[in-house]
Structure 1
Amino acid sequence: MDRIDAMRAFVTVVNEGTFTRAADRLEMSPQLVSKYVSQLEQHLGVRLLNRTTRKIHLTEAGTHYHQRAQQVLNDIDDMENQLGDLQTQARGLLRISAPVSFAIRHMAPLLSEFQNAHPAVGIDLQLNDRKVEIVEEGFDIALRIGHLKSSSLIAKRIAPVRLVMCASPDYLERHGTPERLEDLQTHRYLRYSYMNQEASEPVHRWLQSAARNRGSDMVSNNGDVLVEAAIAGAGIALQPTFITGSAIREGKLRIILPECEPEPMALYAVYAHRQLLASKVRSFLNFIEGYFGEPPYWDHFE
């Protein structure tokens, strides 16, 4: 008995629901599929399936074995796929989720150059600042910004993300330039509603306190809106330099309290753990690595 063939036969029967459909998928006779499953049960010394004339039912042992066997087969296919990708052109539709402001400002040139290098790959880019469920929502890759916690997903660091407090020269002339964190209590805060508080302490704590005391500050779930409001003189914004960099370089915004700058975050490419890594995904991960530079080009304003 070839154990891998028997394992694949068993997994296919479970996935397809019948021996006949499994045989069609494996391009072999139902009798041979049944023989493989029976030999596997004999080898393991347990019954994996209860068979009736119409349906099959997994036993408790079969349920546990199916999960592990499926993973083993995925690993084997993944290994063979990686070797095959050396000779195979990346192709297919690549579905990517990315943060709104980052994608609008920085993704178009990247995707254009990627498709020039890999013309057989189509792109479906969905912009959303919420944390998408990669597997459930059918994404190949999600770009995320922050301090990522451990999970069942694989995260590849792409670039550092620097957060700065900034305001327009006009606003600072009218309200004064803060010299200490305590001075933020008297200033207007343009708050990003998805801000990760852990990533921006103690700065975020002081800005939040200022907002509570005033009760009239601006809140938005889009960083571009807040940066444009800051340029217009509406208050102080705590935003990443991939949004504020050009305005700082042009003198429309000034960095304040640089010594209190939060610890940098990072841009990550996140994809499903244990997923069969298609050539289109691997090619994109290789292409985006180092693309923005380190420090990234949007930080070249000082």
Structure 2
Amino acid sequence: MDRLEAMHLFVRVAELGSFSAVALQLGLARSVVTRQIAALEAHLGVKLMVRSTRRLALTSAGTAYLEKCRVILNLVESAETDVAEERLTPRGNIRISLPLSFGLKRLAPLLLDFSQRYPEVGLEMDYSDRRVKLIEEGIDLSIRITRRLDPGDVARKIGSSRMQVIASPDYLARHGRPRHPSELAHHECLGYTAGGGSLAWQFLVAGQLESFVVHSRINANNGDVLTEAAAQGLGITCQPDFIGESYFASGRIEAILEDFPQPELGIYAMLPSNRHVPHRVRVLMDFLAAGLAEPAI
């Protein structure tokens, strides 16, 4: 194994904290990974990592070496990419994690178009609303819809979504139309439970963000289910605009409380680190951003 390959392997072991995890991702025997790290330590003449009861821990020398490895590998990758990028067609595999409803409604058609345009790029798509661990799971790109990012997140905003409070005409005829968010406390609401399932919905009232407690008998971690429940007259729900499009078109739901907007949702392309982004991944991010900027059909 040459010096750069050894650095790559060391960085991956340091990020995942496990010889076994790296061996599994790379399709190697665990003993091969262990021997390569041991050979690197022997070459350097220092101990880079020590084993604790549950995972590996870097020594002070290992921590310093890790940062230098990242800088060197970034420079090498950037230099090679800059030389080749202009003449190369994007190629290689991309593992991408996608939110379920938005992924199926808006991203799947774009990804299939991308696959036809760039036949030398392989796509492995994982549709799920769970929060993936990009480095640990070997994900190259994750699409996340959120109001706020966490400290340390490496992300590019590629779109936005507007929240809408919706109900069926039948429900509103039977129970009345709320004129102010405070009136939701007297209605049957349908709660979204993914990511904590707050019992309070937020609205801008006179320019100030306020929270209003709602009561929900029916709850789900999927917005399509809740929108269908609303369309059947079971209550009021709050969902992003991309879920309600077909229901609005058929007249099964109506928007309410439009004078009291909710905070915008950002659509982000999440990256596993701030290292140099592969050309194929950057091309895909550009493609998705351009596609999301166009009106949904």
TM-score (norm 2): 0.76
Change (3 A) 1:13 1:291: closer
Deviations 1:153-194 (A, max 9, x none): 321111111001010111111111111222212211111102
Give 1 or 2 for the bigger CA radius of gyration. 1
Contact 1:199 1:263 in 2 (8 A): no
Question: What does residue 258 of structure 1 align with?
Answer: 258
Question: What does residue 102 of structure 1 align with?
Answer: 102
User: Does 2:295 match 1:297?
Assistant: yes
Counting only pairs closer than 5 Å after superposition, residues 21-36 of structure 1 correspond to structure 2 as none
Question: What does residue 30 of structure 1 align with?
Answer: none
Question: What does residue 282 of structure 1 align with?
Answer: 282
Counting only pairs closer than 5 Å after superposition, residues 145-294 of structure 1 correspond to structure 2 as 145-194=145-194, 197=198, 200-202=201-203, 205-206=211-212, 208-211=213-216, 217-293=217-293
Q: Secondary structure at the match of 1:107?
A: helix
Instruction: Report the AA paired with residue 67 of structure 1.
Output: L
Contact 1:165 1:261 in 2 (8 A): no
Q: Secondary structure at the match of 1:258?
A: coil
Instruction: Report the AA paired with residue 215 of structure 2.
Output: A
Tell me how far apart the structure 2 counterparts of residues 13 and 93 of structure 1 sit (CA, whole Å): 19
Unaligned stretches of 5+ residues in structure 1: 1-5, 23-32, 38-46, 51-58, 212-216
Tell me how far apart the structure 2 counterparts of residues 240 and 19 of structure 1 sit (CA, whole Å): 48
Tell me how far apart the structure 2 counterparts of residues 177 and 272 of structure 1 sit (CA, whole Å): 45
Q: Secondary structure at the match of 2:290?
A: coil
Of the structure 1 ranges 168-177 and 189-198, higher mean CA displacement relative to structure 2 is found in 189-198
Contact 1:96 1:126 in 2 (8 A): yes
Cα distance, 1:240 vs structure 2: 0.3
Instruction: Report the AA paired with residue 227 of structure 1.
Output: T
Q: How many residues align?
A: 258
Change (3 A) 1:249 1:137: same
Cα distance, 1:19 vs structure 2: 9.6
Question: What does residue 71 of structure 1 align with?
Answer: 70
Cα distance, 1:122 vs structure 2: 1.3
Cα distance, 1:20 vs structure 2: 10
Contact 1:167 1:237 in 2 (8 A): yes
Cα distance, 1:85 vs structure 2: 2.2
Instruction: Report the AA paired with residue 187 of structure 2.
Output: H
Instruction: Report the AA paired with residue 152 of structure 1.
Output: G
User: Does 2:141 match 1:133?
Assistant: no
TM-score (norm 1): 0.75
Tell me how far apart the structure 2 counterparts of residues 152 and 89 of structure 1 sit (CA, whole Å): 31
Cα distance, 1:280 vs structure 2: 1.8
Cα distance, 1:276 vs structure 2: 4.0
Change (3 A) 1:64 1:182: closer
Contact 2:203 2:263 in 1 (8 A): no
Tell me how far apart the structure 2 counterparts of residues 106 and 125 of structure 1 sit (CA, whole Å): 14
Tell me how far apart the structure 2 counterparts of residues 156 and 202 of structure 1 sit (CA, whole Å): 26
Q: Percent of counterpart pairs with the same letter?
A: 27
Q: Secondary structure at the match of 1:230?
A: helix
Question: What does residue 30 of structure 2 align with?
Answer: none
Change (3 A) 1:61 1:174: closer
Tell me how far apart the structure 2 counterparts of residues 242 and 256 of structure 1 sit (CA, whole Å): 16
Change (3 A) 1:107 1:64: closer
Contact 1:189 1:236 in 2 (8 A): yes
Contact 1:199 1:265 in 2 (8 A): no
Counting only pairs closer than 5 Å after superposition, residues 104-123 of structure 1 correspond to structure 2 as 104-123=104-123
Question: What does residue 54 of structure 1 align with?
Answer: none
User: Does 2:86 match 1:81?
Assistant: no
Unaligned stretches of 5+ residues in structure 2: 12-32, 49-57, 205-209
Change (3 A) 1:198 1:133: farther
Cα distance, 1:60 vs structure 2: 5.1
